[in-house]
């Protein structure tokens, strides 16, 4: 098993708390982190095509090989191992796996205001990439904000309850619950580095190396509504291949209706209160027992503003633009099909011409073969006649008297007078 000197830090989310940005930073600064005695360990190459920079995909597979994990951890020159994946929040069996038993284990969890988080989570699941992507998405497809609020409130309630149970059942686990966004003017990266127990010099050096790229920027309610409504229309009218991020973006830019505010700002105070109250009990338990930031149970900032009522999309306007796009797409498809058919016909004509040329060439070849066979027959006959003549010549040379007598007798037969004179 791994050495007792190793500490494994599990950064487990939560969702919508900048995890992707933190993972990108850790992946791009692996060497610098290793120099600070932190190994952002790579059990397998990350899925940069998605893009994803998390490093726990191997652990998320069923029945992962614990010997592989042990070898990687033991081979690491660092005493601190960092594993980051927000999906681990709902899989405590991974950070409680026996492969980590002989190591010090620390869970790092960022917690966001509950209402803000649910609204942001609902927003994320209304985006176009959910339409067909099976990996690293909910698997529910593109979900409307209304449905998402209900679904993810229940899902997050289950996560919070299970987290508290998992923490309570694991007294050897060190739990660090941090606020998102960070307090005291700190950056998210700095709070993570401090949670990894690095000295101030190492923290400052790594923070200076970080880029100023923003973390995930949420989409407006109008964009989410456009995305989910178009997904429904595309399926309803049998046009799933028409749906894409480009379609959503194009129609979004053409719409005059819709609400350009963040999703949370479009919720009624009653909706916010319902979400808050539903998540209140497990959130309070995390605050009281594990020092979770108390802001998670507050009403969001949006609740303290006199927000205008939610301005929904004009469905008639959206449908009109959608059908215009659909018609254009169908016309383009027909034009592309006609062009393809013309290309096919031209190719078939070229093929027929090539076949005719081939047939003519085969016929010419057959004629040439027949002529060759006739010439060979003539040659064989000539060779046979030559062989016969050579045989006769050789026989004549060997037995000349036979031919003299034969010639004499032949002459006698032709001339009776010659015979009588004899």
pLDDT at residue 409 above 80? no
Among candidate residues 200, 183, 203, 208, the one with its CA nearest the CA of residue 192? 203
CA distance 286 to 398: 128
pLDDT at residue 112 above 70? yes
CA distance 236 to 225: 16
pLDDT at residue 135 above 50? no
pLDDT at residue 422 above 90? no
pLDDT digits (tens, 9 = 90+) for 61-78: 878 999 999 999 999 999
β-bridge mates for residue 220, sequence order: 262
Which tokens in the block code for residue 288?
């009281």
For the residues 377-398, what does the mean pLDDT come to?
90
Cα separations in angstroms, 17 against 86, 288, 311: 9, 22, 27
Alpha helix ranges (H) inside 6-79? 19-28, 30-35, 57-60, 66-75
401 — pLDDT class (breaks 50, 70, 90)? confident
Task: Give the H or E element holding residue 104.
Answer: strand 104-112
CA distance 125 to 147: 10
Long-range interactions of 166-174: CB distance < 8 A, separation 24+: 166/92, 166/96, 167/107, 167/289, 167/290, 168/289, 170/92, 170/96, 172/105, 173/95, 173/96, 173/105, 173/106, 173/107, 174/104, 174/105, 174/106, 174/107
Percent of the chain whose pLDDT exceeds 90: 77
Eight-class DSSP state of 233: H
- Treating both helix axes as pointing N-terminal to C-terminal, what angle do 221-236 and 315-398 enclose, rounded to 10 degrees? 50
Among candidate residues 257, 187, 178, 264, the one with its CA nearest the CA of residue 218? 264
Among candidate residues 252, 205, 239, 7, the one with its CA nearest the CA of residue 105? 7
What pLDDT does residue 136 have?
Answer: 44
> Are the beta carbons of 105 and 11 closer than 8 angstroms?
no
The per-residue pLDDT of the chain, averaged, comes to 90
Determine how β-strand 174-180 pairs with β-strand 38-39.
unpaired
Among candidate residues 242, 239, 240, the one with its CA nearest the CA of residue 251? 242
User: What's the per-residue H, E or C state across 256-300?
Assistant: CCCCCCECHHHCCHHHHHHHHHHHHHHHHHHHHHHCCCHHHHCCC
pLDDT digits (tens, 9 = 90+) for 324-371: 999 998 898 889 999 999 999 999 999 999 999 999 999 999 999 999
> Are the beta carbons of 93 and 63 closer than 8 angstroms?
no
Question: Within a 10 A sphere around the Cβ of 28, how many other Cβ atoms?
Answer: 15
pLDDT digits (tens, 9 = 90+) for 184-233: 889 999 999 999 999 999 999 999 877 754 466 679 999 999 999 999 99
pLDDT digits (tens, 9 = 90+) for 274-302: 999 999 999 999 999 999 999 999 999 99
pLDDT at residue 49 above 90? no
Eight-class DSSP state of 56: -
């Amino acid at each position: 098993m791994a050495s007792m000197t190793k500490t494994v830090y599990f950064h487990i989310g939560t969702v919508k708390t900048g995890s992707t940005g933190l993972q990108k930073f850790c992946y791009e600064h692996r060497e610098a982190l290793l120099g600070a005695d932190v190994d952002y360990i790579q059990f397998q190459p990350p899925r940069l095509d998605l893009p994803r920079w998390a490093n726990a995909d191997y652990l998320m597979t069923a029945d992962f090989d614990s010997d592989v994990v042990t070898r990687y951890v033991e081979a690491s020159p660092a005493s601190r191992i960092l594993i980051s994946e927000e999906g681990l929040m709902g899989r405590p069996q991974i950070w409680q796996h026996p492969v980590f038993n002989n190591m010090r284990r620390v869970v790092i969890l960022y917690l966001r205001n509950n209402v803000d988080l649910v609204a942001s989570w609902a927003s994320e699941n209304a985006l176009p990439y959910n339409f067909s992507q099976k990996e690293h998405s909910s698997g529910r497809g593109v979900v409307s904000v209304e449905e998402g609020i209900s679904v993810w409130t229940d899902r997050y309630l289950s996560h919070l309850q299970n987290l508290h149970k998992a923490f309570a059942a694991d007294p050897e686990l060190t739990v660090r619950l941090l606020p998102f966004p960070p307090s005291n003017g700190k950056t998210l990266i700095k709070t993570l580095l401090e949670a990894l127990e690095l000295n101030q010099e190492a923290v400052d050096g790594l923070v200076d190396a970080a880029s100023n790229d923003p973390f995930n920027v949420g989409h407006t309610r109008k964009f989410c509504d456009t995305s989910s409504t178009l997904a429904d229309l595309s399926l309803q009218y049998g046009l799933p291949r028409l749906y894409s991020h480009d379609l959503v973006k194009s129609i979004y830019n053409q719409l005059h209706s819709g609400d350009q505010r963040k999703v949370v700002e479009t919720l009624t105070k009653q909706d916010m209160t319902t979400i808050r109250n539903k998540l209140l009990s497990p959130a309070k338990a995390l605050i009281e027992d594990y020092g979770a930031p108390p802001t998670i149970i507050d009403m969001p900032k949006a609740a303290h503003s006199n927000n205008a009522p939610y301005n929904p999309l004009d469905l008639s306007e959206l449908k009109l633009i959608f059908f215009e796009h659909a018609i254009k797409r169908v016309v383009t498809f027909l034009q592309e099909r006609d062009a393809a058919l013309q290309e096919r016909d031209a190719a078939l004509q070229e093929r027929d011409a090539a076949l005719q040329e081939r047939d003519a060439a085969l016929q010419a070849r057959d004629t040439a073969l027949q002529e060759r066979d006739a010439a060979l027959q003539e040659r064989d006959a000539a060779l046979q006649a030559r062989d016969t003549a050579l045989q006769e010549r050789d026989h004549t040379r060997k037995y000349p008297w036979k031919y003299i007598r034969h010639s004499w007798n032949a002459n006698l037969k032709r001339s009776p007078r010659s015979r009588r004179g004899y």
